[in-house]
Structure 1
């Protein structure tokens, strides 16, 4: 597995997560295209956008969040892992974030009801 321009800890996490989900590099088709958006002349000259396709499931991920191709390769793989986990029915980072926001809103609603009294 290639290493990317992120910390060793993140590279190790990616490798472990791929092994946990049974994802191999041979199953991923990777291509690079030119990005769009902010970044100026740099993104207009280099192919920093990463396009991944998981051959067995047909899932496709495109990532152009960073100006660095290596960082985008890492981010695209992380997104692909999250989508594969969602297909298996597991909880993803997005699910945890939505649950956190739902609890926060419920807590605020309770505090408001206590402060102003229940008004219908």
Structure 2
């Protein structure tokens, strides 16, 4: 079963830019362009099963109302912060869409049966030789 990633549509994400003053004192001119990303799970175009799993994920960034809020202020450029926030959102969605595939036990193939039988008979043959004095 091939697994395709559900990529987030740019128009489903809402960004709020927050221009926060840098830490007090040292460099007052340093302004970080913090970004808040809001993503509404219910309003999104994600398939139903992924939406369900997102709502059940225990992630502090997902509110009870089904809104994923990601704050990003790592860099001074707002564009960069948006990209980082989007990447984090994508990670959460990938985490929810990652459903383990359960392998059902398959019957052994003829080849496998034959190999096992071969190994068995070789073992018993060597066992039979044990303790016997071989004459050359």
| TM-score w.r.t. length of structure 1 | 0.48
Q: Scaled by the length of structure 2, what TM-score is found?
A: 0.43
Higher relative contact order (CA closer than 8 Å, sequence separation 6+): 2
Structure with the higher fraction of residues in helix conformation = 1
Would you tell me which structure has more strand in proportion to its own residues? 2
